Chain A
Amino acid sequence: MEALLPRSLEEALALRAAHPDAVPVAGGTDLMVAVNFGRARPPVLLDLSRVQELKSWRRENGSVFVGAGMTFARIGRELGEFRPLVEAARSVGSPQIRSRATIGGNIGTASPAGDALPVLAAYGATIVVGSTRGERRQAWDAFFTGPKRTTLAPDELVLGVEWQAAAGPGSFAKVGTRNAMVIAIAGVCLQLDLGARTVRLALGSVAPTVVRAPDSEAFAADVIPWDEPERELPEEAVSEFGRLAAAAAQPIDDVRGSAAYRRHVVEVLARRELSWTLGDRRAEAC
């Protein structure tokens, strides 16, 4: 095994192009598990931990860009205005994991259970990748093609993710059997856009990739009293929202949970998150 240690993005991209069999590693919280267990023996490691250009984020007008090298600990500390993202970051592993695991790792590994992924889907985010051939932007739903599969070419690196900041409340929740340190049995992210009057609901761990629930989104956009923030949504509408969300899930039975339970969790979390976001909106308005 060899290790390549680029100090700049330019160097990293050049090395990536020259070594298509190199496995990129930043925080190591996914890859090193496989290496420690003898399950992965990459011929070449491409260590991205020194590439400073990947470790920043910026906000320009309404557009946010978060570099692939941003850890969940830093996201939690620095991106406080993006509540669902911070809630997702807080739910990741432990302090030790959060100080290392990166959003770029979540994106590159593309596990259907990746904690940040429902948030990026709810934000309608665009994945930004780079290579010596230049930058490429692709909508999240085109980028993630299957469980742990993306359109990332062998000479490309994930540079980061960007989205248009939605003005409105949102939340993230994930269920695991234990009260800490769990891989999500199911995760749900809801984001309201008060300006555009749209609702975005994304589901994690219940399909081959993270998915949105368009029927529930359309339903909610229709029934939410956009002009009357103090008005509550009737219970039947909240329940219907939950039902439509669950119908969008395509879960499987596995070691962590059954398909039936996952669908049930989606229904419950979708309902709760709708009530919370509308409640938060009410609280802000009054």
Chain B
Amino acid sequence: MDARRPEGRGLLIHTTVNGLDCEADVWPGASLLALLRDEFGLAGSKNACEQGECGSCSAWLDGELVCACLVPAVQADGAAVRTVESLGDGRRLHAVQDAFLAAGAVQCGFCTPGMVVAAVDLLERNPAPSDEAIREALAGNLCRCTGYQKILDAVHVAAAELS
């Protein structure tokens, strides 16, 4: 959904994205996902369903895992947003990202950013999750390619690496 406003009326949003102060003029009906993708050039969060069913737009809003497609952009005003682009430090991948590659958990990759964000969120709260805990935490992230096996493996690999 394009954040550029149609009628010329907009709201100025000030937000912090991945630690950087940003602002944009957006149509009030735009979602945080549109803001990230169309205004801030952060295309890592994906637009697979735009109704919160698939998790491919997963990001953090003030530290909580959300579907960015369902967050009205105006609610990001004054808030801190963190996306997949914040992971790793520019030279090295985040342990979860590397684990996804090591475990073969990436095929088409469309679900991957959202899946990685949700996995990072899980491990930040539960450093040694069981299979059931992983499944419950990733229940909102759909993948059509992998059958999820290697995604489970990747989370275990990352948990071991991070501990």
Contact = CB atoms under 8 A, between A and B. Distances in A.
Interface stretch (B35-43, B60-68, B154-162): B60-68
A45 B64 contact: no
Nearest to B140: A94
Contact of A2 (B28, B31, B53, B140): B28
A87 interface: no
Given A37-B51, A41-B29, A45-B28, A97 B140 contact: yes
Size bin of chain A's contact surface: 20 to 34
Given A1-B28, A96-B52, A96-B55, A32 B71 contact: yes
A3 B28 contact: yes
Size bin of chain B's contact surface: 20 to 34
B70 A32 contact: yes
B53 A28 contact: no
Interface string A27-44: 111011101110001100
Interface in A1-45: 1-3, 5, 25, 27-29, 31-33, 35-37, 41-42, 45
A47 interface: yes
Interface stretch (B14-22, B72-80, B98-106): B72-80
24 contacts: A1-B27, A2-B9, A3-B74, A28-B70, A29-B67, A29-B70, A32-B31, A33-B50, A35-B29, A36-B1, A36-B31, A47-B74, A93-B52, A94-B139, A94-B141, A95-B139, A96-B58, A96-B140, A97-B52, A99-B64, A99-B65, A100-B64, A100-B67, A180-B139
Interface of B: 1, 9, 11, 27-29, 31, 50-53, 55, 58, 64-67, 69-72, 74-75, 77, 118, 121, 136-137, 139-141
Interface of A: 1-3, 5, 25, 27-29, 31-33, 35-37, 41-42, 45, 47, 49, 73, 93-97, 99-100, 180-181
